């Protein structure tokens, strides 16, 4: 069974590869801010973190599904499409990607020595021969605790690498940010941006075995 990843995240791709899966990566054409803003307008209230990540994961998977089902698509999608999204929450405030060094530094000054929650949303669409079918979704949450002795010089050096600018919460666990994290409560892969146990349950929920996705040398 082929897995299509509706994401350009290097971390999600690396995580799937480490689990024996080489997905087809397809960039979803989604304006995340506009999708979330419209949902909040319709709801008449701010979205919860759970709602945000599931909504955006679904939007990304459905965008790739539509593109793969278009008449001018290079080849019809035949497999499972996975959309994902992540946000970090501390003090009840939702944080996505900071994008600028100034915002990243502000967030780190606020979160060092403290614990926040990383929410990762998943949406899986069964699309066989280009025809979309069943879909399932789920959200995973993990608590992340940061070291309380991180110096400003360390933060400046970390921010200067550019890594924290384009990840939810301005940190990673699987790369340069790992040494600044002292504890994870929950599935660690959730913090990377994709909960592998959650994905396995979704795949099983659609009637497929997890090993059927293995297609990398060494996993067969």
Active site residues: 85
What is the pairing mode between strands 79-90 and 115-128? antiparallel
User: CA-CA-CA-CA torsion for 43, 104, 178, 61, nearest 10 degrees?
Assistant: 30
Judge whether 116 and 110 are in contact, CB under 8 Å: no
Quote the CA–CA distance of 123 and 195 in Å, as a whole number: 12
Q: By three-state DSSP, how is residue 101 classified? A: helix
Judge whether 124 and 202 are in contact, CB under 8 Å: yes
Report CA-CA distances (Å) from 45 to 37, 42, 52.
10, 8, 12
């Amino acid at each position: 069974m082929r897995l299509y990843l509706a994401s350009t995240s290097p971390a999600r791709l690396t995580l799937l590869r480490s689990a024996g899966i080489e997905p087809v990566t397809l960039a979803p054409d989604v304006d995340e801010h506009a999708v979330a803003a419209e949902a909040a307008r319709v709801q008449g209230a701010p979205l919860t973190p759970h709602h945000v990540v599931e909504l955006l994961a679904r939007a990304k998977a459905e965008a790739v599904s539509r593109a793969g089902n278009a008449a001018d698509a290079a080849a019809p999608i035949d497999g499972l499409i996975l959309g994902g999204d992540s946000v970090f929450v501390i003090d009840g405030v939702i944080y996505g990607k900071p994008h600028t060094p100034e915002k990243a530094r502000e967030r780190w000054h606020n979160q060092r020595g403290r614990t926040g929650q990383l929410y990762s949303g998943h949406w899986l669409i069964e699309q066989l021969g280009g025809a979309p079918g069943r879909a399932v979704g789920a959200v995973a949450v993990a608590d992340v605790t940061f070291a309380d002795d991180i110096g400003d010089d360390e933060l400046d050096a970390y921010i200067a690498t550019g890594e924290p600018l384009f990840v939810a919460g301005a940190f990673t666990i699987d790369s340069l940010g790992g040494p600044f994290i002292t504890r994870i409560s929950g599935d660690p892969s959730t913090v990377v941006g994709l909960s592998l146990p959650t994905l396995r349950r979704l795949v099983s929920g659609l009637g497929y075995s997890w090993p059927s996705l293995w297609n990398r040398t060494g996993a067969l």
